[in-house]
Amino acid sequence: MRLFFFIGVIASHFIINGQPYNLPNLNFNYEEYEPYIDAKTMEIHHSKHHQAYVTNLNKAIAGTNLEKSSLNDLMMYASFRSEAVRNNAGGHFNHTLFWEILTPKEKQANPISSELENVIKNQFGNIDSLKAKLNQAASTRFGAGWAWLVVTPQKKLIVTSTPNQDNPIMDVAKDRGIPILGIDVWEHAYYLKYQNKRGDYLGAIWNLIDWGVVSQKYMSAINDPLLAQIEKDTWPELKEFHRVMSQVFHPSEKGNLDPLKNRSGELLAKAILLKNSTPPLPLQKEEISKALMKLVKQCDELDKLKSKNAKTEVLTKKIAEAHDTFHIIQGLCQD
Closer by beta carbon to Mn ion, 180 or else 189: 189
Which chain residues interact with Mn ion by CB under 5 A?
184, 186, 189
The sign of the CA dihedral 56, 60, 65, 69 is negative
Smallest distance from Mn ion to CB 208, Å: 14
SS3 235: coil
Give whichever of 184 and 231 is closer to Mn ion, judged by the CB atom. 184
Task: Kindly state the smallest distance separating residue 53's Cβ from Mn ion, in Å.
Answer: 9
By beta-carbon proximity to Mn ion, the closer residue of 71 and 272 is: 71
Q: CA-to-CA distance for 79 and 61, rounded, in angstroms?
A: 16
Pick 99 or 326: Cβ nearer Mn ion: 99
What are the backbone angles phi and psi of residue 178, rounded to the nearest 5°? -105, 120
CA dist 317 and 253 (Å) reads 10
Please report how close the Cβ of residue 152 comes to Mn ion at its closest, in angstroms.
24
Distance CA 78, CA 168 (A): 11
Cβ 107 to Mn ion shortest distance, Å: 22
Are the C-beta atoms of residues 187 and 144 closer than 8 Å to each other? Answer: yes
Q: What minimum distance in Å lies between the beta carbon of 67 and Mn ion?
A: 25
Residue 134's nearest CA partner among 99, 172, 187, 181 is: 181
Helix (H, G, I), strand (E, B) or coil at 179: strand
**CB of 33 or CB of 124, closer to Mn ion:** 33
